[in-house]
Structure 1
Amino acid sequence: MATLTKKALAESLKILMKKATLDKINVTDVVSHCGVNRQTFYYHFKDIYDLVEWIYKTEAVESINKYKSYNTWQQGFFMIFEYVGNNLEFCTNCFNSLGREHLDRFLYDITFGFLMGVVDEVAEDTDVKYREKRFIANFYTYAFIGIMTQWIREGANEDPANIINDINQLIEGDIKRKIHNYL
């Protein structure tokens, strides 16, 4: 029952965000749209931003976590583009609101997670330190977030497959070379 209520609150917020940015919506708006009381909302979430984080975590992060390998990172990136594209109004309104940090955190957490998996895989059986592996993963994470946010800013019109192909052309073999540079 709790999951159904959370999903209903999430769906209400996403519907409301088709017309307004996150900073223009409050808990009263969400519960009125959903047909529950404020106490029910606060039983599940501490505030609107907590609900936003729950949406990102449950709708996207769990399904993308399986792409943490050198051979599957492109699929993981594609799934992030696909999620954002399928939820463009929600993500764009988060992007254009005071809640942007939640979109940024979502993009960082998910991208860093699977890039760190790629770096760990490539660095397996080497003496490269965690700090250095983390730096490599951070570098590529922020590059990807920059590309993703520019895509959102420009209306998400370009085909994500083309963007991922461009990224792949640009960085193919780079992680292996960076690991080797630290040895």
Structure 2
Amino acid sequence: MARIFVAIGLPSELQQRLGLICGGIPGARWISPERLHLTLRFIGEVSHERLRDIDHALAGIDFLPFDLRLDGIDQFGGDKPRVLWAGVAPNPELMRLHERVNLALARAGVPPDTRRYVPHVTLARLKFAARDRLGGFIAHNNMLGFGAFAVEEFLLMSSHQSRDGTHYRVEQRYQAQVFADYG
């Protein structure tokens, strides 16, 4: 069995830039910069046979490269914050890719995700975090510009638990189509 998800990787420069703001909230479990990514769809535990079906379905997705910009800092959980995240500026190409991923996964027999998709990059888990520091952190960092980056591929990834924490592995890469201009 493998625990899998579909994601967009972040350029290492952007991961490092985000890593610079990670800190200052006691008890928060910060995500290490090299593990930062944008999840397109969490799938969960699947057999190796199902993993092959999912890979085949995702390989049929056509998309063009597009630019994506991280925008703002916020949290999920309302009065009981659970996750601190960097948001994504509204982007129709991202939403189209997300929809295509969902359709491909449905064809592979993966049950639909009924939750509304909120594109984000998880920065920290907040279960034991000092909540009194959270509002100040968000206010202080919310207007930082993280810049745009080109999305030229998406990834099928697996996560594995160990004593050292969670480790990610890229199972497959799916490249954007690039059409030559012969005009």
Q: Shorter chain as normaliser: what TM range?
A: under 0.3
Please tell me whether Structure 1 or Structure 2 has the larger radius of gyration of its CA atoms.
1
The structure with more strand, counted as a fraction of residues: 2
Q: Which has the higher contact order (CA 8 A, sep 6+)?
A: 2
Bigger proportion of residues as helix: 1
